[in-house]
Structure 1
C-alpha cells in the first residue's frame, strides 16, 4: 500500500467546494534529483506563492487548509508548508513539482528494465516454442525412419518365414510322394501274394494226394513263387524337424546381419553445426551450401536448429553419440574426394559456442587436410610424412584410453600417419569436421563375428579385420598386428577349418565306413532264385524230423 500523510485531504472538503484530487506518492524512490535541499527552511524559501498556483492543479491539506507543495523523502509523502515545519521538521523535503519529475524519471527507468526483462522472457519463450516444434518434427521424422527400418526387418522376416515354410512343405510333399509310391508298390505285392496264397490253399484243400497231386506240385510251386518279393527296408518318411526348428532364431539372426549393418560410431544430431547435414542412418555427414534451417533429411528446411548447449555454433562439425574414457576403440572414416576435413577426438569440455583453435590445449586431438597439406593439429601444427600426391581416401582412428594413445592410420595401406600421446582422463568423443560442400564424411560399416564358447569378439570391416581385446587377456594391437591383416585372416580361416574338420570327423564317427556298410546291406538283401530240389530236400528233412519226434513219444 502507498504511504499516506495523515494530513491528506478528504474527498468531501475543499475551499472551493469542488472535488479534491488526492496524490498517490511512489512506493520507493532511489537516485532522486540532486536539487534536494538540505533543510526545510531552504525549501520553504524556494516554494512558490500559494495564491499563484492554479487552483485545480493543487492538492489540499485537510488539517492546515493549505496546498500540498512539498514532498518528504523520509516518509515519501506530499506535504503542505505547515506540515513540513511541524511534524516533518528535520526531514529531507523538496518541491512537489520537482519530486514528480524525478519520480516519473525513475518510473521510466524502472519501466525500461521491465521491458528489457520482458524481451528476454519473450526470447526464451520463442526458443522454447522453436525447440518444441523442432522436437515434434524430429519425433515425426524419427518415427517414420524407425518404421521404415522395422518394415525392412519385418519384410526380411516374412520372406525368411515364407522361404523356410516353403522348404518344409517341399520336404513334406517329397516324403509323402515317396511314401505314396512305396504304398502303391506294396499294395501290388499284397494283391499278388493274395492270389498266390489262394492258389496254394486251393491245392492243399484238394482231395488228391497221389500222383495227381505230385504232378501238379512243381507247377504250383512255380506259380506261387515271386522273385524279389521282399518288402525291403522299413521306410523312412519322417520329416527332419531338427533341420527346420533347430537354432531357428540364431540361424535367422545370422542371415539378418547381412541386412543389419553395424557402425562403431553413431553421429549425434544435437551437436551438429548450422550447415551440417546428416544421413538418415546417422553414419555420414556433409556440408550444405547455405546455412542450415534443419537438416534436409530431418526438417526439410522448414525450421531453424535450436540453440541447445550441445550444439557447435561457429564450426561445421559434429560429435559421435557415445563417448569413451576406457578401453580400445577403433573406427574407419571414408573421406573420399573431400579436400578440406578434420578428424579425431574431442574432449567433453570442448567449448561449443566460442571460436577456438583446433589443438590439444583446446581439447581437440585431430589431423586435417587443408590447402592440399595433411597436418597433425598440434601446437604448432606438424606436416604429416605423407605424399600429398597419393590421395588419402580412408582414415582409421584408433583410441586406446588405457595406454593413452590416439593413432591415425592410412586404411588403404595400413601405414601409421600420426600418434598422439595423452592421458585421456575425461570423456572423449569422435570428432568430424568439414567445410567442403558436396562431399560426404562416412563412418564405414563393420561386421561383427561372435565365436561361440569364446570370450573374444572378432570385428571384421569391409576391407579389414580387427580382433578386439579379450576381457581375460589385456593387451593392445601392436603396429605389426594392425598392419598384419593376413595374420588375422589366417587365424580366422584356421578356426573355420578346425570347425569344419570337427564336423567332418564327427560325421565320420557317427557313420563309419558308409560304402562298406552299403555293400553289406546289398549282400544281405540279395535273394537266391527258387530251387525245386532244395525245397523237396527241405520238406523231406522236416518230415524225417517230425517222424523221429513221433516215435519217441
Structure 2
C-alpha cells in the first residue's frame, strides 16, 4: 500500500487506522500515478527552459544588433569628423598660402626698394670719390675754378625719401579666425529641425546615415525587418512600429512653435503628420486623431486629411510639404512649401509630447527632411532708452522738493567762483547783496526750480487756484537764475 497524500508506504493496519480518508493505493497503481504527475511537471520545466532560451536568444540578438549598429555608427562618426577635419585642413592650407603670398609680396617690394637704394648709394660713392680727388689735387688756380661749377653741381642730390614699407596685415589673417571658419562650416554641416529615430522604424524601412531620409528596401516580405547590417535582423523592441512601414522623429515637442519641411518627391503613397507619445506601435488601427495621429496622406492619387471621416484636399501635386506645429495654441498646419498655400489645419488641445510621424508603403519610395538655413547673429548689449514724457504737473510736484538748502548750496558754489575770480564790478557786488537780502525772506518751499511762490495755506488738499497760480508764475524768471548767469559771465571775464 502507498499513501499519495503523505507519500509513504503503508501496511494494511496503518492504512486503516492512521491514514483513514487518505488516497491509499497499491504500490503499482501509486507508481503509475506519480510517474504521470512527474511527466507533467517535466513538460512544464521543458516549456520554461524553452522560454528562457528564447529570452537568451533575444538578448544575444539584441547584443549582436547593438554591436553591428555601434560599428556602423562609429564608422559614420569617423566619416563625418573626417570631412570636418578635411575641411579644416583645406582652410588651414588656404590661410597659410595667403599669408605666404603676402609675405613674398612684401619681401619682393622690400628687395626692389633695397636694390634701388643700393644703386643710389653706389652712385653717391662715385660722386664722393670724384669730389675728394678734386680736393686732393691741390689746385687753386684757374683750372680748379673752371671745374668748380661742374664739381659743385655733382654734389647736389635730393634727400632720400623715408620709405615705409607696408607691414603684414596680421589682423586680416588672425581676426576672429576660429569664428570665421566656424561660420563657413554651416555650408558643409546642414541642420535639419527633426531627425529620424531608427529605433521606431518598422518593416522594410531603411534610414540614411544622416538620419534625415528613408526609403523602402525592395525584396523584403511583409513583416521581415533588417538593420543597416543586412546580416543582423532588427529586434522587435517596444518602440518599433510593426507591421507598418512607419517611423517617428527623435525629437518630441510638448511646448512652443516648430516647423519642418518634407520632400515627398514622386512617392505614390505616403502619410505625414504628428503622433502622440502614447500611440500604439504594434496594433493595427486607422490613422485618425482618435488614435493619436494627426496626419494628411496621399492614397490612390488623392490627397486627404485623415480626420474621422477623412476629408479630401483640393491641391495640385505636392513635392514639398511644410508641417507647422504650435503646441501651445493647439494647431497643426500643413502647407505646400513650394507655393506657400495652405492645405489643412488640425485644432486640438495637446496634452502630451508630440513626435513628427512618417509612413510610406510605396516600393522604393521614401521621404527626406529638408535642411534649414542657419543664420548666425551677434547679440548687442546696447539697450535703447525710451524717452519719458514729463507733464507740467509732474514738474510742479517735483519742484516742491526744492528747499532752502538747495539755494544755500547754490550760493556756496557761486561764492567759490567769486573767490576764484578775485574781482567783481560794483554792479555785481550790489547784485550779490540783494540776493543775500532776498534769502532771508525766501519761504521754506518753492513750486518750481525757477519760481518762488507764497507759502501754502494750511489744509490737507490743494486747491485748483493754487495750481493755476503756480503754473502762471513758472514762466517768470527767478532772480537767482539771473544771478548765476551773471556770475558765470563774470567768471569767464576773469579767466
Band of TM-score, shorter chain:
0.7 to 0.9
Q: Comparing 445-454 with 117-126, which one deviates more in the overlay?
A: 445-454
Consecutive unaligned residues of structure 1, counting only runs of 5 or more, are 1-68, 456-553
Tell me the equivalent position of 2:480: none
The number of equivalent residue pairs is 378
Match of 1:433 among 356, 359, 382: 359
Backbone CA RMSD of aligned residues: 2.0
Tell me the equivalent position of 1:98: 29
Does residue 362 of structure 1 match 2:294?
no
Give the Cα separation in 2 of the matches to 1:439 and 1:211: 111
Superposed, which structure 2 residues align to 1:77-476 within 5 Å?
A: 77-89=8-20, 91-204=22-135, 207-208=138-139, 212-226=143-157, 229-289=158-218, 290-291=220-221, 292-295=224-227, 298-299=228-229, 301-386=230-315, 390-453=316-379
Tell me the equivalent position of 1:71: 3
Preserved CA contact (<8 Å) 2:202 2:225 = no
Give the Cα separation in 2 of the matches to 1:282 and 1:231: 70
What's the CA shift string for 1:141-166, capped at 9, x where partnerless?
11122222122111111111111111
Preserved CA contact (<8 Å) 2:183 2:376 = no
What's the CA shift string for 1:99-152, capped at 9, x where partnerless?
322222222222222122111111111111111111111111111222221221
Query: SS where residue 448 of structure 1 aligns?
Result: coil
Query: SS where residue 115 of structure 1 aligns?
Result: helix
Give the Cα separation in 1 of the matches to 2:172 and 2:47: 76
Preserved CA contact (<8 Å) 1:127 1:307 = no
Change in 2 beyond 3 A, CA 1:128/1:182: same
Give the Cα separation in 2 of the matches to 1:201 and 1:405: 101
Give the Cα separation in 2 of the matches to 1:413 and 1:319: 26
Give the Cα separation in 2 of the matches to 1:405 and 1:454: 34
Superposed, which structure 2 residues align to 1:516-535 within 5 Å?
A: none
Change in 2 beyond 3 A, CA 1:356/1:136: same
Task: Please state how far the C-alpha of 1:95 moved relative to its aligned partner.
Answer: 3.4
Give the Cα separation in 1 of the matches to 2:285 and 2:114: 86
Tell me the equivalent position of 1:481: none
What's the CA shift string for 1:420-449, capped at 9, x where partnerless?
112222111111100001123111112201
Change in 2 beyond 3 A, CA 1:90/1:276: closer
What's the CA shift string for 1:517-550, capped at 9, x where partnerless?
xxxxxxxxxxxxxxxxxxxxxxxxxxxxxxxxxx
Give the Cα separation in 1 of the matches to 2:242 and 2:21: 61
Change in 2 beyond 3 A, CA 1:397/1:230: farther
Question: Which structure would you say has the larger RCO, counting Cα contacts within 8 Å and 6 or more residues apart?
Answer: 2
Preserved CA contact (<8 Å) 2:295 2:305 = yes
Change in 2 beyond 3 A, CA 1:99/1:231: farther
What's the CA shift string for 1:35-79, capped at 9, x where partnerless?
xxxxxxxxxxxxxxxxxxxxxxxxxxxxxxxxxx23251x22221
Give the Cα separation in 1 of the matches to 2:257 and 2:9: 79
Consecutive unaligned residues of structure 2, counting only runs of 5 or more, are 382-495
Preserved CA contact (<8 Å) 2:269 2:300 = yes
Query: SS where residue 164 of structure 2 aligns?
Result: coil
Superposed, which structure 2 residues align to 1:480-491 within 5 Å?
A: none
Task: Please state how far the C-alpha of 1:92 moved relative to its aligned partner.
Answer: 4.6
Give the Cα separation in 1 of the matches to 2:366 and 2:21: 81
Give the Cα separation in 1 of the matches to 2:55 and 2:139: 123
- TM-score, normalised by the number of residues in structure 2: 0.73
Task: Please state how far the C-alpha of 1:216 moved relative to its aligned partner.
Answer: 2.6
Query: SS where residue 438 of structure 1 aligns?
Result: coil
Give the Cα separation in 2 of the matches to 1:333 and 1:72: 73
Superposed, which structure 2 residues align to 1:484-503 within 5 Å?
A: none
Q: Comparing 99-108 with 281-290, which one deviates more in the overlay?
A: 99-108
